[in-house]
Amino acid sequence: MRILCDDMLVLCHASDVPDGDARGFLPGPDAPRRIIVYRRGETYRAYLDSCPHYRAGTPMSWRADAYMNCDRTHLVCFAHGALFDLETGVCVAGPCKGRRLTAIALMLRDNGDLCVSVSEARQP
């Protein structure tokens, strides 16, 4: 990962996330969790890869980049099938209904890099 000025690091390039899909990125070799990036058109949302159903959190995908439900309408937790709204991160079905994923602020640079703050990338 490249660290930029103002405590930002490059998470990925915008083209790394297909439209209508989500991908997980490890923000650095010592990062405790992946960050999920969802794309719809030119809008990107990012969440910490940690389901709120478990106090310590659990990764959401059962295999690399398996974050979407079959209909591609929600993020899904593989552990218990909880569904999360793509735009807000709020759980709409499952044992953690009403709770939300931890949102991560993204910055899209002119060259297409998607960046996150170093402090957000290191959340447990």
Query: Domain limits of the chain?
Result: 8-122
Does 124 have pLDDT greater than 90? no
pLDDT above 90 covers what percent of the chain? 70
DSSP strand pairing (107-108 vs 113-117)? antiparallel
Model pLDDT for residues 2-61, shown as the tens digit of each residue: 555 567 889 999 999 999 999 999 988 778 889 999 999 999 999 999 999 877 678 899
Class at the top of the CATH hierarchy for domain 8-122: mainly beta
Query: In the structure encoding, which two tokens stand for residue 90, read together?
Result: 């709020």
Q: How confident is the model at residue 62 (pLDDT cuts 50, 70, 90)?
A: confident
**Exposed/middle/buried for 55, CB within 10 Å: 0-12, 13-18, 19+?**
exposed
Distance in angstroms (rounded) separating the CA atoms of residues 124 and 107: 21
